[in-house]
Amino acid sequence: MKKFINVRLKGSQNLNSIYVENGVIRKIMLGTSEDNSLGGEDCETIDVEGHLVVPPYVDPHLHLDYVFTAGLGENNASGTLFEGIQRWSESKGHMTVQEMKERIYSGIRKEMLHGVQAIRTHIDVTDPTFTGLKAALEVREEVKDILDLQIVAFPQEGMYAYKGGDELVEEGLKMGADCVGAIPHFELAREFGEKSIHKTVELALKYDKLIDVHCDETDDTQSRFLELLNALVLMEGIGTKTTASHTCSFGSADNSYAFRMMKLFKKSGINFISCPTENIYLEGRQDSYPKRRGLTRVKELHDQGINVCFAQDSMSDPWYPLGNGNMMMILDHGIHIAQMMSPEEIQDDLDLVTTNGAITMHIQDRYGIEEGKPANFIVLDAKSEFEAICERAGILASVRKGEYLFQKEPAKVIGAIDLLK
């Protein structure tokens, strides 16, 4: 047995002790007593020194098959979603499964070193060779002990805009993908976008899969595929297993429409993902001024009790030139753009990159710092939620099943003048 002492948990001003046995949290006790009655004399004691301990970061929307592909072909000169898809289409056919695996691993390493232990990756299946999916399936098996990795069978070039795309998505599910994906706003006409939503729900029911749709990733207020997706999953009772990613156009919708939809979202239990850095970079490209921010109504969804979380989306690919898997950076951008920095909101903002993402990925039964759950958590270089967010705190340690995945030394200032000591 191990005992982590001087643990500061989210929402608590007190220090706690976490007892771990066989990789599972056996007991959480208030205080830092040296009483060995629970663990015995052989209980290993690890002092967290009062640092904030939270569940691992979750990145519920990432494209691991695209990471570090920026510059492989022509640049995305317009900086738009649509040209990004074109540039990816031009370059993706030249990759091997091994090359794709190396790229996927490079993205995973980046994220895990920033405290991520759960990733949902969209993998492009508008590729009859399934190069990306084969690579991702192999990686998922290889990392299963250290990372929760979900795979979305995602038709990047459209379920119907790409000939046979619907059949490729279904084949991807048969091969082992965890989620059904779609991109209705990229289809050739509204009717095809609606057809893709119907097909997505049909496949999810047929194969008992989760749903994650790239939904209305556009400023176009007439793009309302979210409404149809929500209605279908509400009627089928699978809202909690469904995610609407991006929903940028809902951020541009008028308040009367939003008022009606909020009630329906709450009724269905649908989940939302916003990708702050990506959305603000890609959207608003057709605006002069005023210029839209590109984000969905994150604050309003959260205030209504609807599950919403943040994600990285891209790391240096045809859509977004930067990105390093640091979810604290994503959170920082997101709460600024969404204006979620009241004292009360700051106390809970970390949920946007932890617990809420786990709910979206439908892994909450094995996620969280609770007795009986796996001892998975991260140690932040901060003593409170406010300090963590204000200082953009780094990760001191990542723990999986009670064992360190890594530890880091806190940053130190050396050779400083008196004023800076």
The residues annotated as belonging to the active site are 217
Sign of torsion over alpha carbons 36, 38, 40, 46: negative
Q: Using CB atoms within 10 A of its CB, is residue 254 exposed (0-12), middle (13-18) or buried (19+)? A: exposed
CB contact set of 155 (below 8 Å; sequence gap of 6+):
124, 125, 126, 162, 165, 166, 168, 169, 181, 182, 183, 196
Torsions phi, psi of 189, nearest 5?
-155, 160
Determine how many CB atoms are found less than 10 A away from the CB of residue 295.
24
Of 342, 346, 367, 341, nearest in space to 356 by CA: 367
Q: Are 81 and 39 in contact (CB under 8 A)?
A: no
SS3 label, residue 116: strand
Q: What is the DSSP string of 199-221?
A: HHHHHHHHHT-EEEEEE--SS-T
Determine how many CB atoms are found less than 10 A away from the CB of residue 157.
22
Provide the phi-psi class of 305: left if phi over 0, else alpha when psi is between -120 and 50, else beta.
Answer: left
SS3 label, residue 124: strand
Look at the block and give the residue holding tokens 């690919």.
317
Query: Token pair of 296, please?
Result: 């969905």
- Which pairs count as long-range contacts for 131-135, CB under 8 Å and 24+ apart, including other chains? 131/92, 131/95, 131/96, 131/97, 131/100, 132/65, 132/92, 132/95, 132/100, 133/172, 133/175, 133/177, 134/97, 134/100, 134/175, 135/65, 135/97, 135/98, 135/100, 135/101, 135/104
Round to whole Å and give the CA distance between 166 and 153.
10
Round to whole Å and give the CA distance between 53 and 61.
24
Of 296, 307, 299, 207, nearest in space to 265 by CA: 307
